[in-house]
Amino acid sequence: MPARVARLRIAGFKSFADSTSVEILPGLTGIIGPNGCGKSNIVDALRWAMGEGNARSLRGGEMDDIIFAGTTTRPSRNMAEVTVTLEDALGIIPPPLHEQSELEITRKIERGSGSAYRINGREMRARDVQTLFADMASGARSCAMVGQGRVAAIVNAKPEERRQILEEAAGIAGLSARRHEAELKLRATEANLQRADDMRGQVEIQLQALQRQARQAARYRNISGLIRASEAEFLAIQHLRVERAREAARLTLEEAKVKAAEAAEANRAAEQAHGQGHDILPALRAAEAEARTALERQRVASEQLAAEEARAKAAIGAANQRLEQALRDLGRAEGLMRDAAEAEQRLGAEDATLAAAEAEAEARLAEAVAAMTRAAETAREAEATAQAATERNAALTATAQALTGRLSQAEQRARRVGEQVARLTVERDRLALDLIAPDKLAEAKQAAETAEAARKEAATRLETAEKARVAAQSALTKAREQANTAEAAATKLRAEIRALNEVLSVGGTQGGPQLVDELTVPAGLEAALGAAFGEELSASAGKEAARYWRELPAIDGSAAIPEGCQPLGEVVQGPPALARALAHILLAPADGAPGLQAQLRPGQVIVSKEGGVWRWDGYTLRAGTPTAATVRLTQRNRLRKLREDGAAADQAAAEAKAAQDAAQTADRATVTEEQAARNARREADQAAERLRNTAAALTTRAAAAEQRLAGVVSQLEAAQPEKTEADASLAAIREEAANLPDLSAMRAEVETARSALQLARREESDSRARHDGLLRDRSTRAQRRQALAQERQSWAERAEAGKAHLADLDQRRQEAATEHAALAAEPERLATARAAQTTEFADAQAAHQTSASRLKAAEDEARAAEKASRAAETAQALTRENLVRAESAVEQANHAWGTVAERILERLGAEPAFPEITVEPSQENEDKARRRFERLTKERDEMGPVNLRAELESEEITRQIELIDREKGDLVAAIAKLRGSVGHLNREGRERLSAAFAEIDKNFQAFYARMFGGGRAHLALVGSDDPLEAGLEIYAQPLGKKLSTLSLLSGGEQALTALSLIFAVFRSNPAPLAVLDEVDAPLDDANVERLCTLLNEVVKETGTRFMVVTHHHHTMARMDRLYGVTMMERGVSRLLSVDLNRAVAMTEPPPPRMAAE
């Protein structure tokens, strides 16, 4: 069972501020409502949830405009969400959701953050959702979404644009998206292949540069060896100089230590004398401190007496102030008592006045209540009279309006039926002459079948040619790949051979070729031979050279060879000049060579395959030290091997090139055959199409003529009784309208009743206002009397408090007077005590002066002894400074020695092998050694940057080239696979599109005849022989007109023709949901009836659920259910629904019950 769209839930989308659900049930669902209330917003929400990404297509400036923007009473929303629920969706979506039968597809947007898709809570891509709906023949822009202007868009579209209708009907809308994606991948892969070719060329250039850098690195290493030797000589001289300077500093330090000891002894004697002078000072200082303390105590006592005298005077002044304040407070309390008595008298008089006024107000309040009751009764009676008159007037007006509407409809119906009877009579007579002979129709069908057989044969030939071309192209790609691989391998070998030839051709001597080029060295012995000879192999065999090897006879009585050693002359083939040297160079394993070195005879040397050297005189060279000779011998062996491999690679490249040429010739032949087959297919298609169109046109004309004639006769028979019934109905309605009473008298009665009602309501309002005023006055008087009572109570409480306060103030006055009398004698007593204290202070001051004089004399003697001690300490400090200088000199010498030792350790190792120093280690000789070292360093630096990893990097570049070649092979295979996929998709698309075209054309012809009640029409592919590139043209011939394209028809005919095409698509590839947004707007009532009838038939045939937005009352009446969109709150849409089938069932009377037997 195909998937069905069951529900649409909207929240925060455009004018739908609150969450709203639309149940999409089987049959026809109508959406109705006034203009601007939000009907089309439901359609926009559905399209947006299906993947619409253009804000303008949703009638907005940007995508955030679809979020509810708020109203004067509601704030704006920050997000919008629309959910589409699919039922019976098992297997329509890839895993992991393929086993779920119900899918909820939700699209949610947040303001300023974009939107996201979810299916059953799982986040999905927009493309996945769009492809899902496209595979269901649905989607935001599918033919099933017939929005406002969609019919006009089909009419005005170019044939190429209408092809989308066929693609959706054929179910290849998603296939087209996949084909486009495959084509994008194909172009990207081809671009990657081009980039790989470019990258390989760049890497080959890098390889050539690295080979030049490797030669430069060898020269760099030779200069570095000379630099190490000169640096060792310079460091040896410097080490000897600092060693001598360190010994001289040590002797100076010993002499400074002796002098420092003598100065320390003299300083100790001076410090002893200074200490004796300071011992008597503490007792004298204690006596002086005691006298000073007694003096300070007398001074403090004098100050305390002065302070007490000041406090006594201040206390007398404060007592006077308290006495005066008590007298003032007593006067204020007596004034408060007088104010309380006056307030009590005044407030009592005001309370009596208010009590008298309240008695008079009660009578007036009773009169106001009676008047208000009479006015309210009069207003109720006037309102009842006005309500009755208004209801009678409304009923009579509604009856008159209903009769007017019925009369207008009856007149239109009678006129329409009369015109229809006349037109059908003329049409019946004309259609009888348009019938086509059966033999002519059979002849056209036979010609079309013959052409169709020829077309299928041409299609089979084309398919065979395409397969052959694909196979030939695959073979050509494989051959080209093999040829490229073989040529790349041969080119790589040739480049390496050329580079080695260039390297080995550099460095020859002036007297002829180097001996190293005349040696034949087995693989693995290059390091041994290079270590044994070193730079001596670069000499020539010619005597005219500055350095050359002389040919000498072998030495008689050669020395014994240690056990386990083998002369190099037995394994290395060289010129005779090297025979004596090769006989004395012995090959031995590296681990046993040090033990054999002591057994060597003069002239003998042991070498290892790793490059170690152990000479008879003790000279040893560790393995792994590269030499120019070793490198040159390795390069010669490598060149010999490359020449052997290069010949085989050239042969393989030539064979691969020949295979590529053969495959290319075969590919050209298949391309030629495919083009011929395609031309034949195109010619056969054209012929078949032309004959098929001719047969279809004749068949359509015959069927249409018969159908039109039968239809016209049937319509004429049905129209005659309808005309009679319409005339009778019109006469009855006119008679009923003539019997209606006059409405003007009723309107006058209503106005009179409303005037009386207004007068009564005004009198009622005035009496109510008088009554409310009296009530407010009574309440104000009561509140004032209550306030007066509270105020009188307050003044009484103040009077009681004043009496108590008055007694308290009198007591405070008496206490202040007593205190003042007690303080009057205190100043005289304090003056007597102060005179006695002055005498005691003078005695303490004299005692302090005596002790201070004795202390000063003792301190002068102590300062003299301290001065002598400081002189001795200064002398000791001088000797200590000399000692520190000597220690600093030793430390500097040690630091200089350590610096040199650290540099030696850094440059030469923990056990440096210093060269023998034959010169005096002076500053001059050190500078000479340093200048030689700096000159060699400068020479090396002038070489510029040297890539010492050139050989390793060249090997890495070679591996990178091999990787690029492998990736190119993968890309070529991917291109072939993608081309095959695109071809398969194109073939499948053509087949499905052709089948869909035939079915839609058949359905379109049938729907057109039913929609127009006759006429004929058909579809045609134009603009290209390839269905995937051709456009869709619509040809139609309404009754009484010539055959023409869609653009030449009238507006109503165009709309009906476009709707016929849409229904034909529905029938050929039914969508689960179709939306028709006001498509009935340009149609008259009769065509709307036909449209609704077709809708019901399509629903029964295909099961498609229709959502119809309409304003037409005929369309509303044909719906199964209605959703009304209202905007009771300005700017906010709401939905109301009614099931018309259930409503009809509720209004029909129940069937009668059978009586019991």
CA-closest candidate to residue 4, choices 101, 89, 100, 90: 89
CA 768 to chain centre: 71
Amino acid at the residue 1059? L
Task: State yes or no: 40 annotated in a binding site.
Answer: yes
User: Do 790 and 426 touch, CB atoms closer than 8 A?
Assistant: no
Q: The dihedral of CA 1062, 1064, 1065, 1067: what is its sign?
A: positive
Task: State yes or no: 282 annotated in a binding site.
Answer: no
CA-closest candidate to residue 172, choices 1069, 1152, 1118: 1069
Buried b (16+ CB within 10 A) or exposed e, 558-571: eeebbeebebbbee
Pair type for strands 20-23 and 4-11: antiparallel
Q: Which helix (H) or strand (E) holds 620?
A: strand 620-621
User: Do 605 and 551 touch, CB atoms closer than 8 A?
Assistant: no
Task: State yes or no: 569 annotated in a binding site.
Answer: no
Q: Which helix (H) or strand (E) holds 607?
A: strand 605-607
User: Do 1118 and 1092 touch, CB atoms closer than 8 A?
Assistant: yes
Task: State yes or no: 34 annotated in a binding site.
Answer: yes
Q: Which helix (H) or strand (E) holds 628?
A: helix 628-738
Q: Which helix (H) or strand (E) holds 227?
A: helix 173-279
Name the residue with tokens 């009754």.
1039
Q: Cis bond leading into 282, ω under 30°? A: no
Name the residue with tokens 């490198």.
631
Angstrom distance (rounded) from CA 441 to CA 696: 9
Angstrom distance (rounded) from CA 1074 to CA 46: 11
CA 207 to chain centre: 42
Task: State yes or no: 36 annotated in a binding site.
Answer: yes
**Exposed/middle/buried for residue 917 (C-beta within 10 Å: 0-12, 13-18, 19+):** middle
* DSSP E strands, 12-132: 20-23, 28-32, 79-87, 103-110, 114-119, 122-124
Task: State yes or no: 41 annotated in a binding site.
Answer: yes
3-state DSSP assignment of residue 617: coil
User: Do 1066 and 144 touch, CB atoms closer than 8 A?
Assistant: yes
CA 663 to chain centre: 49
Cα distances from 933 to residues 105, 447, 743, 1115, in angstroms, run 82, 105, 132, 107
* Three-state secondary structure of 720-748: HHHHHHHHHHHHHHHHHHHCCCCCHHHHH
Angle, CA of 23, 28 and 29, to the nearest 5°: 40
Task: State yes or no: 39 annotated in a binding site.
Answer: yes
Angstrom distance (rounded) from CA 399 to CA 415: 24
Angstrom distance (rounded) from CA 1112 to CA 1115: 5
Beta bridge partners of 540: 514, 548
Spatial CB neighbours of 1018, under 8 Å, sequence gap ≥ 6: 693, 696, 697, 700, 1001, 1004, 1005, 1035
Q: Please provide the size of the chain in residues.
A: 1157
Angstrom distance (rounded) from CA 1093 to CA 1102: 14
Spatial CB neighbours of 267, under 8 Å, sequence gap ≥ 6: 869, 872, 873, 875, 876
Task: State yes or no: 37 annotated in a binding site.
Answer: yes
* Token couple for 396: 């009579």
Q: Which helix (H) or strand (E) holds 1019?
A: strand 1016-1022
Q: Which residues are annotated as a binding site?
A: 34-41
Q: Which residues are annotated as a binding site for ATP?
A: 34-41
